[in-house]
Amino acid sequence: QVQLVESGGGLVQPGASLRLSCAASGGTLSTYGMGWFRQAPGKERELVAAINWSGDNTHYSESVKGRFTISKYNAKNTVYLQMNSLLPEDTAVYYCAADTLPAPVATITAIRYDYWGQGTQVTVSS
């Protein structure tokens, strides 16, 4: 059973940066596609960023492209989401997820993800 634990969320001002981490146990992230999703109050969960198992293909939502970066550190079995130039509309609970079926491109469909973390709150406010 794969367990994912997110960390790094918090309260920051607009324009600030945060780095979210997602540590895995019970599985090897080097063989998984990984994704970061977020859900704001009253809104549906949406994909923010995804990376394929080998780390050479990524996908970003238009709202975060150029500001967020997803990466995998296989030696630490951890995936990161570097978030720069944060905006109030980035406020949400952020979840990481694992797609255990290797694919050549990043997985962008939520239903394909097999395991989910519990989420970490990110609040961007002045």
Q: How do residues 48-105 score in pLDDT, each as one tens digit?
A: 999 999 999 999 999 999 999 999 998 999 999 999 999 999 999 999 999 999 789 9
**How far is 59 from 62, CA to CA, in rounded Å?**
9
Query: CB-based burial of residue 118 (10 Å sphere; 0-12 exposed, 13-18 middle, 19+ buried)?
Result: exposed
Structure confidence at residue 102 (pLDDT): 79
Residue 103 confidence (pLDDT): 87
Closest CA to 74 of 43, 44, 34, 20: 34
Structure tokens at 62: 């238009």
